[in-house]
Amino acid sequence: MLQKINLAVAFVLLTLPFGSRPSASAQDRTKQNNQVKTLETGTFHGKVHQTSGRATVYQEPDGKLVLRLTNFKTSNGPDVHVILIAAKDADDDANFLKTDTARVELGKIKGNEGDQNYEIPAGTDLSKYQTVSIYCERFNANFGTAPLEKF
């Protein structure tokens, strides 16, 4: 009997430190999970086709990544896409992308002015694709670039 009580006490003592903590961290996690997080941001520059505004990457509670353009303005053109490129930045003068630059397609541009959102495909490695490019696919022309930096 005494042995049983000892065992029970030992068990309670052992589990005590774990008992209170998981609930607290679980709470923290749900609090974080309900929030959209700002991951990265950067501003556009572009010389040949005047491009300005801000690009920001948000992470939704379910892990989905969204690129949002704000105060955005570029020139209108044919077959313009929003892409992420595996480069630190593109110079103002880099009017054309190198053909071997790795890229992730986010879709056709919704408008050449105004706030807009683009879904980033799941599994996109943001540490590799560090720069947003407004890209005319037909002519391989880079209208504007926004290098992203940690927010």
Q: Are 102 and 50 in contact (CB under 8 A)?
A: no
Q: Is 15 in the site for another protein (CB under 8 A)?
A: no
Residue 26 CB, nearest distance to another protein (Å)?
19
Site size toward another protein (CB under 8 A) is 32
Q: Measured from the CB atom, is 102 or 119 closer to another protein?
A: 119
Distances (CA, A) of 111 to 24, 64, 84, 93: 45, 23, 17, 24
Among the listed residues 27, 30, 38, 50, the single contact to another protein using CB under 8 A: 38
CB of 58 to another protein, least distance (A): 6
Nearer to another protein, 12 or 115 (CB): 115
Q: Distance between CA atoms of 41 and 112, rounded to whole angstroms? A: 19
**Residue 148 DSSP symbol:** -
């607290």: which residue's tokens?
24
**Which residues, 6 or more positions from 56, have their beta carbon under 8 angstroms from its beta carbon?**
38, 40, 41, 42, 67, 68, 70, 151
Q: Which of 95, 101, 99 is nearest to 134 (CA)?
A: 95
Binding mask 48-87 for another protein (x = CB under 8 A): ------x-x-x-xx----x-x-xx---xxxx---------
Which of positions 129-148 make contact with another protein (CB under 8 A)?
A: 138
- What residues line the site for another protein (CB under 8 A)? 34-38, 41, 43, 54, 56, 58, 60-61, 66, 68, 70-71, 75-78, 110-117, 138, 149-151
